[in-house]
Structure 1
Amino acid sequence: MERTSNLQHPSLQSNASGWINGLIGVVIFSGSLPATRVAVLEFDPVFLTVARATLAAILALCLLLLFKEKRPARQQLLPLAIVALGVVVGFPLLTALALQYVTSAHSIVFVGLLPLATAVFGVLRGGERPRPVFWVFSVLGSLLVVGFAASQGLTAAPQGDLLMLLAILACGLGYAEGAKLSRTLGGWQVISWALVLALPIMAAVTWWRVPATFANISAPAWLSLGYVSLFSMLIGFVFWYRGLAQGGIAAVGQLQLLQPFFGLALAATLLHEQVSLGMLGVTVAVILCVAGAKKFSR
């Protein structure tokens, strides 16, 4: 009995650590959209995207060199490129562009679809066959998001809503591909190598898009750039992928459902944006749909 207990203890401890690391990652990611909203008011969206990726890539390269990590195998380069396109370039750029048209509180409702997008790409990439009920929840959640956007005046800023939908698709693909790749390459190594892979292009575009002067950039904009560069782009992924590896992708991945709540709280407290009861209601409804889709995904 004592031996059995001792053998199970490390597994239980690892599972608990996975949930803690995953939760830390979700909390860090929750600040991404509010911080991007602040930064994009003073920084060009393209410059913001490539600058944050460049800064994070430099730090990631230092970590890889410090821990003497082996280079990825040739067959891992394409999945890493997909991760880079999804979470290093696609999601940051599309959300930065979208937040020129919508508030961060409005955009956070779309984040409620992120776990569903990740699950769908997991199905496509992993060849899983979910039950029909899965697709019922999927369609219902999508209709709720589209209905909410229309009720808020879709014709006023259709660009912002379309860009947010594209951002969610890009991020879902990057998450699914990264989670799959982390099984062989390692958790934090996935985002680090993806950043390094994109570094030459990101650094070149950063140099090209650098503003003529930074004299008019405020301290909050600089802090926001620092946050999305270090925390959203790298540190959050260190905890997130570590949590997925320790606690299981399917289980810990459901913590993403809490992200809209954290994000709305940050938007209300830090940016003083109005969060209506309708917005909260739609967010809860979308999260319930995603939870139902997750339950019937296998």
Structure 2
Amino acid sequence: MSYFTIAGVQMHALHHGDNTEAMRHRVDVLMSRFPQVQMVLFSELMPMGASPHHAQPMPSHAEQFFCELAERHRIWLIPGSMFEQTDQGVYNTLSVINPRGQVVARYRKMFPFLPYEAGVESGTEFVVFDVPNVARFGVSICYDMWFPETTRTLVAMGAEVILHPTMTDTIDRDIELSIARTNAAVNQCYFFDINGAGAIGNGRSIVVGPSGDVIHQAGTGEEVMPIEVDLNRVRRERETGLRGLGQPLKSFRDRRADFTLYRSESGSSPFLDTLGPLQKPLRADVEEY
């Protein structure tokens, strides 16, 4: 199968609290209106809001709720992410649920938005999963996209589509739109960057094709985005080049350059070590009049 339909859902929700019932309603309406949809993707921290105080061990009641929803509609479902409580601390965790209502993968966000997302641990495992006879998908969350190594590694693991829930309510959203396009182009993949709206994001979700082309960019309000992707397009462009031109994945594979920075276990360098601690900016002292 070359064609596959993915619906991104950009919706208003409570910043702190249970949004699962509102998400169920949205999926019910979506599937009634667009029965061709095969996968549904929500934004980061949509189910239980943005407070780590709502963290739960997994599997959780909320995750099971979404398993039943996926099975009812026979869809692949990525309900954003939720804070997961473990013996090692709290993680920002995404669940991948198949049409039989089974959790086939969980991904823990590698790059919490430090120093602001304090108290959240960093995941260490890259996650891809296969939709049989369709494609391999990779997942990442929000701030992960700012680190090109994350998408490049998922693509090196075979991902043709990157599913990327985010919760951006800050003034850097315009930069993220450029990063989404760049990630898609340099890795020759589809990139679904789905943001929340209102209290849980400032919208402007974006879906990008493997040439870095914008397939759709949402506004700032609620929006449902059913997008049919063509996996043959990914495979053809990886073979012949972006618009018949650059073939970045092959060039990366065949490179002669050795990136010495990555030989260090910490990924650090004498220069990076001069940058000081990772902390919130402090207010400068000003003279009172």
TM-score range, shorter chain: under 0.3
TM-score by length of 2: 0.25
Q: Quick check: which one's strand share is greater?
A: 2
TM-score by length of 1: 0.24
